[in-house]
Structure 1
Amino acid sequence: MNASSPPPIQRRTLTRSWVAWFQALPISIVFLLFFLIPLGLIGMVSFWNYNQYELIPGFTLDNYSAIFRGCSNLSDPCVTLRTYWSTLKFGLLVWLITLVLGFTVAYFLAFHVRSTTMQTLLFVLCTIPFWTSNVIRMISWMPLLGRNGLVNQSLIELGIISTPLDWLLYSDFSVVLAFVHLYTMFMIVPIFNSMMRIDRSLIEAANDSGASGWQTLWNVIIPLCKTGIIIGSIFVITIVMGDFVTIGVMGGQQIASVGKVIQVQTQYLQFPLAAANAVILLVVVMMMIWALTRLVDIRKEL
């Protein structure tokens, strides 16, 4: 053997290292082309100037100052703060509701359905709404929630109300309802996956120790499901925070959100201003994700 050549073990290690990098190359290229470069361009454009006819490359903070202009008085919040509060409100409400529903459904599938075949069947049943587009699923609520819809007509015929309820549609209620309908599955899947990985002997040990059902749930199941809960929370919060279609359709174009503001700004060709809003929204969402990932080390748990 040549004295200058590496030993066989080191050669095999180097070979595996190169193979791993080669395998990661395709997804790295996709990540670079369709995420990092567009994100960098958005950040760059957010510092440009513009007029009614063109974008003016350069460096200016006018777009960011315009977004927060008049926001120093917290007793009378500016439009930007009210818009972000509205978006955060929807994000937190939908997160809380989907967490309760998703955890309940996942718990039922994982611990109360004994047959694997039935678990698979019921799990597939939960995915049926995803067989149609989001817009169709949103529109399907309108014949139910409208002033002359099925819900109002049924309540009137039963004598529960005398006049139709206006807040059922084109309101915060309808927006939250549509969000929950659309995105609960994103909470069910990771929580169900975490629950299926729980060693059932731990639950039997808790029962043998005299723990009640609630004690077992709180001290055994929930701690072992933290990874699924955090992953599902990240999915739901990031989607809701950037959504503008659902708020536009179910809110009747009357409810503000950051995503809706960005859409309107792009329609009026205010691309630098829209880019600045997108950067700020990204920072807010990343801060929320960072806070969630502090609760559990997802990479270690996975």
Structure 2
Amino acid sequence: MSSTAAPPPSGQATSAPGRSLSAWWQAAPLTLVFVLFFLIPLALILMVSFWDFNEYDLLPGFTFKNYISIFDGCGNTAELCVTLKTYLSTLKFSFLVWLITLVVGFAVAYFLAFHVRSQGMQTLLFVLCTIPFWTSNVIRMISWVPLLGRNGLVNQTLVSIGVVDTPIEWLLFSDFSVTLAFVHLYTMFMIVPIFNSMMRIDRSLLEAANDSGASGWQTLWNVIIPLSRTGIIIGSIFVITIVMGDFVTIGVMGGQQIASVGKIIQVQTSYLQFPLAAANAMILLTVVLMIIFALTRMVDIRKEL
């Protein structure tokens, strides 16, 4: 004797998953934190970016003066304006650091996920990767100075073994030293999400690829990389957004000689030009959001996670 469930009364609506009152109460604390510490400060920065200022005071009002001054001279097609040059310099560092950290981070994550069999050894090696984070970023940057300086350990070694006759000048306070410091500081932000994605790959897929006659490179390109794309995108977002807004690393390792958007904002705030700095911050935020939007179009992160 078969029985069928009686349909709910027509006047009684079924509650949709996640739409109940308790679900909204559970989301309320995080929403409150998000509003207080992100949306409200962002709205204040946007508001201040339209204010005027002088040497002594902020002048509340509404003016496009700050945005116009930022792009002053950018209409000249003969030469790039200062703003575009600064953004190109910042994007150059972001691209170089992203590329190097992606290669290094993917290689380290691949080794930990597929070549280290013991879970205890994986944990130990992973902890070793985090050791640089046990100290301050500034200390880690300063540690490169006695190595890369004109009279540093690297130059003294190269001169003593006869590789070069005079010390190499571009090892410190240059694009090279800035890129090296960025890679040193932020590679871990690429390793962690890629390693997490690789650990979720079903190992039977690798066995199936091997049984089908695929080479190691074919398995890597057609199986591992596509299944690791979520981690790659998340790591890329971390690295690119941090480098785009960084000013401490560029200031210390560039010898205060290399311009970046974050450095310009820091200088403007030090001179109390808060509306101009706020306008620059909003433009930088827009550029970063455009990059994040382009990256997230490559994979549905919410679905993959």
- 1:98 counterpart = 2:101: yes
- AA at the equivalent of 1:18: L
Task: Tell me what 1:162 maps to.
Answer: 165
Task: Tell me what 2:74 maps to.
Answer: 71
1:85 corresponds to which of 88, 95, 98: 88
- 1:38 counterpart = 2:57: no
Deviation at 1:72, TM superposition (A): 1.3
1:17 corresponds to which of 20, 38, 46: 20
Task: Tell me what 1:190 maps to.
Answer: 193
Structure with the higher fraction of residues in helix conformation: 1
Deviation at 1:29, TM superposition (A): 1.0
1:138 and 1:63 mapped to 2: Cα distance? 34
Secondary structure at the residue paired with 1:269? coil
Pairs within 5 Å for 1:200-279: 200-279=203-282
Q: 1:222 to 1:263 in 2, by over 3 A?
A: same
> Number of paired residues?
298
Q: 1:15 to 1:69 in 2, by over 3 A?
A: closer
Deviation at 1:14, TM superposition (A): 8.3
2:65 corresponds to which of 62, 65, 69: 62
RMSD: 1.7
Query: How far does the alpha carbon of each residue in 1:196-250 deviate from its partner, in whole angstroms, 9 at most, with x for none?
Result: 0000000000010000100000000000001000000000000000000000000
Deviation at 1:16, TM superposition (A): 7.2
1:213 and 1:265 mapped to 2: Cα distance? 52
Query: How far does the alpha carbon of each residue in 1:148-204 deviate from its partner, in whole angstroms, 9 at most, with x for none?
Result: 100000000110001011100000000000000000000000000000000000000
Query: How far does the alpha carbon of each residue in 1:264-297 deviate from its partner, in whole angstroms, 9 at most, with x for none?
Result: 1011111110000000000000000000001111
- AA at the equivalent of 1:77: L
Identity %: 78
- 1:146 counterpart = 2:117: no
Deviation at 1:124, TM superposition (A): 0.5
2:56 and 2:83 mapped to 1: Cα distance? 25
Query: How far does the alpha carbon of each residue in 1:114-156 deviate from its partner, in whole angstroms, 9 at most, with x for none?
Result: 0000000000000000000100000010110000100000000
Secondary structure at the residue paired with 2:180? helix
Further displaced range: 248-257 or 67-76: 67-76
1:285 and 1:266 mapped to 2: Cα distance? 20
2:77 and 2:135 mapped to 1: Cα distance? 43
1:114 corresponds to which of 104, 114, 117: 117
- AA at the equivalent of 2:151: N
Deviation at 1:74, TM superposition (A): 3.6
Task: Tell me what 1:131 maps to.
Answer: 134
1:224 and 1:72 mapped to 2: Cα distance? 45
Structure 1: runs of 5 or more not aligned:
none
2:49 and 2:67 mapped to 1: Cα distance? 8
1:251 and 1:205 mapped to 2: Cα distance? 50
- 1:295 counterpart = 2:289: no
Secondary structure at the residue paired with 2:256? coil
1:152 and 1:19 mapped to 2: Cα distance? 64
Secondary structure at the residue paired with 1:163? coil
Secondary structure at the residue paired with 1:47? coil
Secondary structure at the residue paired with 2:92? helix
2:77 and 2:219 mapped to 1: Cα distance? 45
Query: How far does the alpha carbon of each residue in 1:89-138 deviate from its partner, in whole angstroms, 9 at most, with x for none?
Result: 00000000000000000000000000000000000000000000100000
Query: How far does the alpha carbon of each residue in 1:61-88 deviate from its partner, in whole angstroms, 9 at most, with x for none?
Result: 1100100010112431111111111100
Q: 1:271 to 1:15 in 2, by over 3 A?
A: closer
Secondary structure at the residue paired with 1:114? coil
